[in-house]
Structure 1
Amino acid sequence: MKYYRPRLDYRSGCLLAVIAAITATPVIAQTTNFGTFSLLPGFDQAKGKVAGYTGGSYPLSAITNRDRAQNPCIGFADPKPDHIMILEKDFYHLKILVNSSNYDTTLLIKGPAENIVRCGDDTGKKKDASIDDQNWKKGTYRIWVGTFAPGVERNYTLTVQQ
């Protein structure tokens, strides 16, 4: 009796390589907890304001320890981004503010390129997080609003200003 061993041809090998790459690389979901919003330069203030609540035990440092300016990326949130912000054009300057009635929040914004991460913590003497930065390229940005302790739920408003 002859036994046949299945042959791995080029297509099978490629398929196995793709499956291995997908299962070996952690993927951050493209869905959100609270939705997607799009902005164009000169946007109405109401379009730059969204709401949500913190929660989750996913350490934001698992995305990256430090952002492009070497700010620490800290806090805990849901693994899914809270919001997706789509910039329809390049923006020279944006300020993103969290208002949680001065609860100690953190902020992580990733995109559009995988290596562009911005992190924020306290705003001046306030405990709410913010990011004030230049050179925002057109594209999709994933936003996480976190807290210092895992699993803490706090309502917040996120405001984007030009």
Structure 2
Amino acid sequence: MKYCRPRLQFKSSWLLAILTAITVSPAIAEPANFGTLNLSKNFDPAQGIVHGFTSGSYSLSAISNRDRDQKACIGFADPNPDHIMVLEKDFSELTIQVDSNNNDTTLLIQGPDKTTIRCGDDTGKSKDASVSDRNWKSGTYQIWVGTFNSGVKHDYTLTVEQQ
């Protein structure tokens, strides 16, 4: 008696393996909601200005509860970063400021690696967020502009300034 292996079963198992591999593969990172800033030393101040709007109900504390200086990371934003900032060289000092007409905004900046986090909330008497820090290494940074309350939409201008 001659044994015949059913070909349909063999093809089905290969198809199942391929579909499983596709399904469990990690998702490709989404681009920034409002584009990319490419900044080199002594950049023109106009290059450091971008616009966007807050949205979303994703808790920024899901990325990190605290930043590298132990400041709380708070607020709600879209899961995708709002902006990508590429620093072509190291910067000794940068300030990243949100201007949303004094609405209650927050900031979370991740980069140039996954473990370096900077967070900001109110700036002085303003409810707009900012981060002013030293030792910005060259590389890619993801920036989220959030709001204190979930789902709130505010137009804003984000400004990156070098000292």
- State TM-score, norm by structure 2: 0.84
The CA distance in 2 between the partners of 1:55 and 1:41, in whole Å, is 32
Displacement of 1:124: 0.6
CA distances 1:91-131 after superposition (whole Å, capped 9, x unpaired): 00000000000000000000111100100000011100000
The CA distance in 2 between the partners of 1:29 and 1:99, in whole Å, is 27
Amino acid at match of 1:33: N
Look up the match of 1:158.
158
Look up the match of 1:37.
37
SS where residue 160 of structure 1 aligns? strand
- After superposition, residues 95-110 of structure 1 pair within 5 angstroms as 95-110=95-110
User: Is the Cα contact below 8 Å between 1:28 and 1:80 reproduced in 2?
Assistant: no
The percentage of counterpart residues that share the same residue type is: 61
**2:56 equivalent to 1:49:** no
Look up the match of 1:9.
none
- After superposition, residues 77-96 of structure 1 pair within 5 angstroms as 77-96=77-96
Look up the match of 1:71.
71
- Across the aligned residues of Structure 1 and Structure 2, the Cα RMSD in angstroms comes to 2.2
Displacement of 1:41: 1.1
Look up the match of 1:119.
119
- After superposition, residues 114-153 of structure 1 pair within 5 angstroms as 114-153=114-153
SS where residue 51 of structure 1 aligns? strand
Unaligned runs of 5+ in 2: 11-16
The CA distance in 1 between the partners of 2:115 and 2:95, in whole Å, is 20
The CA distance in 2 between the partners of 1:28 and 1:82, in whole Å, is 16
Computing the radius of gyration over CA atoms, which structure comes out larger, 1 or 2? 2
Displacement of 1:29: 2.9
SS where residue 135 of structure 1 aligns? strand
The CA distance in 2 between the partners of 1:114 and 1:141, in whole Å, is 9
Unaligned runs of 5+ in 1: 7-11
The CA distance in 2 between the partners of 1:141 and 1:108, in whole Å, is 10
Amino acid at match of 1:158: L
SS where residue 64 of structure 2 aligns? coil
Displacement of 1:45: 0.6
The CA distance in 2 between the partners of 1:77 and 1:144, in whole Å, is 7
Amino acid at match of 1:106: T
Change (3 A) 1:95 1:28: farther
Amino acid at match of 2:31: T
